[in-house]
């Protein structure tokens, strides 16, 4: 799916296809070469050292921000011990269904950091079925924290360049535009730092620079695209986990990859942000989509996402039409009553 032609702000004599990213989490090794290449090419500042817990974290950037346009998230996948599974099954039998905290709050430079969000936590059902573990359930032979690390899952996150872009819908100055490649970029010389775009992004991507207050995010290396070059992050990826090209071609390639993984027994592989049925797309389909093997919430992604303007538009339009109809009816009734009185 493509954006409306009227949204495209930059045009060429010869139309170009919609360009995008396909990120395969099954081949990502967490090297963060994409982060480094992105920062180097776009002259973005370092995020500094962020101590967490008793030592440091490999995931030092923490999240997408105005200074981090590519972020590799480190997700621990743990297996429950038999004791944990039995404990979870007993709680389920008692009707105590819900999420269990798995990770303690960690200390940051500004004090204690918040603990994990509910959508990132394992549920009792998952623990009971042996999918993942929870430290709160303990269990002999499962280590001091009650969970055995099974493997790391790496997720290289980036701006989704949505078809229905909430940031673009909310921008009052026209600083956010859609290019001829159907990517969404910020024009810093037009941005006034109002911040309306930030809560309008369902993925929490765009952010304001703490120094000048202007919004910033991934541009899909628009300056490189203009010269026929691939984005810096895709160029630097040593395993081709990040692939760049015409979006339609990438979707076909990604669907073949999913089928291949299913044939190899990885039944949980699926595409996030592409290949959905009409009406079920995330933000109208994503320009940067992903192959995942875990629920999207494990990577901090929403299961459902839509631009607030697109989501509330039909309701607001219906309410406006209803209000207009009532106003017209009231005006007609007033006119009829007044005319009748004059005749009397």
Question: Would the pLDDT of 259 be above 80?
Answer: yes
pLDDT at residue 334 tops 60:
yes
pLDDT tens digits for 209-257?
Answer: 988 999 999 999 999 999 999 999 999 999 999 999 999 999 999 999 9
Token readout for 310 is 């697109």
Percent of the chain with pLDDT over 90: 50
Name which residue leads in pLDDT, 37 or 98.
37
| pLDDT score recorded for residue 77 | 72
The answer, yes or no, to whether residue 139 has pLDDT greater than 60, is no
Six token digits for residue 111: 């004090």
Q: Indicate if the pLDDT at residue 194 is higher than 80.
A: yes
As a whole number, the mean pLDDT across the chain is: 79
Say yes or no to pLDDT of 325 above 60: yes
Residue 118 has a pLDDT of 43
- How far apart, in whole angstroms, are the C-alpha atoms of residue 230 and residue 252? 19
* Domains of the chain with CATH codes: 5-76+153-299 (3.30.70.20), 81-146 (no CATH)
Q: What is the pLDDT of residues 108-126, one digit of tens each?
A: 434 444 444 444 445 656 6
Tell me the percentage of the chain whose pLDDT exceeds 70.
69
The helix/strand/coil state of 70 is strand
Q: Please give the pLDDT value at position 57.
A: 66
DSSP sequence for 126-177:
HHHTTS---GGG--TTSTTTT-EEEEEEEEEEE----SS-HHHHH-SSS-EE
60-83 confidence digits (pLDDT tens): 788 899 999 999 998 877 666 677
Contact predicate 169/202, CB 8 Å = no
């Amino acid at each position: 799916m493509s954006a409306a032609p009227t949204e495209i702000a930059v045009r060429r004599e010869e139309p170009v296809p919609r360009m995008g990213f396909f990120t395969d989490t099954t081949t990502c090794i967490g090297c963060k070469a994409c982060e480094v290449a992105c920062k180097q090419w776009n002259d973005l500042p370092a995020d500094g050292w962020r101590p967490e817990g008793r030592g440091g974290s490999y995931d030092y950037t923490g999240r997408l921000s105005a200074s981090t346009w590519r972020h590799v998230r480190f997700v621990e996948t743990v297996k429950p011990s038999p004791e944990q599974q039995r404990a979870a099954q007993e709680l389920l039998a008692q009707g105590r269904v819900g999420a269990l905290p798995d990770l303690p709050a960690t200390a940051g430079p500004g004090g204690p950091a918040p603990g994990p969000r509910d959508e990132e936590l394992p549920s009792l059902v998952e623990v009971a079925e042996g999918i993942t573990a929870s430290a709160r359930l303990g269990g002999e032979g499962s280590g001091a924290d009650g969970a055995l690390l099974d493997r790391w899952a790496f997720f290289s996150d980036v701006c989704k360049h949505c078809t229905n872009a909430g940031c673009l819908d909310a921008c009052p100055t026209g600083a956010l535009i859609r290019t001829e490649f159907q990517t969404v970029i910020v024009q810093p010389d037009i941005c006034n730092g109002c911040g309306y775009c930030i809560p309008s992004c369902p993925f929490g991507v765009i952010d304001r620079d703490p120094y000048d207050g202007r919004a910033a995010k991934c541009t899909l290396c628009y300056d490189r695209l203009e010269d026929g070059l691939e984005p810096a992050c895709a160029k630097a990826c040593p395993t081709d986990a990040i692939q760049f090209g015409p979006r339609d071609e990438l979707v076909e390639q990604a669907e073949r990859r999913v089928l291949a993984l299913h044939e190899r027994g990885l039944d949980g592989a699926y595409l996030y942000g592409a290949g959905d049925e009409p009406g079920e797309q995330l933000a109208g389909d994503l320009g940067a989509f992903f192959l995942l093997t875990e629920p999207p919430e494990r990577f901090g992604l929403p299961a459902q996402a839509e631009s607030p303007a697109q989501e509330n538009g039909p309701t607001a339009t219906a309410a406006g039409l209803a209000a207009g109809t009532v106003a017209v009816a009231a005006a007609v009734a007033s006119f009829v009553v007044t005319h009748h009185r004059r005749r009397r």
